[in-house]
Amino acid sequence: MCYIWSQSKCNLKVMKKYVWIGMLALVATACQPEDPIVKMADDVCACLMPTVEQGDKATEAIKRNNEAELAALEAEMLKTQEETQACFQNLEKKYGNMQEFQARVTEAMKKRCPRAAKLISNPGE
């Protein structure tokens, strides 16, 4: 029980209690294992983001009607495509067949890397 003359000590005790509760909550949530679907989504995002970025560069070159820049980007885009394919092959080695998780991975990607998720959801756009 806190008395008026010791109110500041009482407040300090209450604050310490809440700090400890907060730290325990932080530790409890930090120790939870990462959702494997989220991990797959992050890995797919990492594979696709170079392609997304190359697409952005190409779109800008098209808007500027810069054919020389587009021609220079072509070789770079082919290299990026090869790297993306290799990245996906590595993901298959890491996770096995990801087809059964595709819908859930795509949903997770919409939150984590929406531009890459759009690329998967709407190929060719």
Q: State the pLDDT at residue 32.
A: 54
Do 52 and 76 reside in the same domain of the chain? yes
Its pTM stands at 0.68
Do 5 and 51 reside in the same domain of the chain? no
CA distances (Å), 5 to each of 2, 15, 16, 56, 114, in order? 8, 18, 19, 67, 57
Q: State the pLDDT at residue 16.
A: 54
CA–CA separation, 74 vs 70, rounded Å? 6
Range of the domain at 47: 36-121
Low-confidence winner among 21-30, 54-63, 71-80, 102-111 (lowest mean pLDDT): 21-30
Do 23 and 46 reside in the same domain of the chain? no
| Domain total of the chain | 2
Q: Are 88 and 47 in contact (CB under 8 A)?
A: yes
Q: State the pLDDT at residue 5.
A: 47
CA–CA separation, 76 vs 102, rounded Å? 28
Do 53 and 9 reside in the same domain of the chain? no
Q: Are 45 and 116 in contact (CB under 8 A)?
A: yes
Give the confidence band of 22 by pLDDT, cuts at 50, 70, 90.
very low
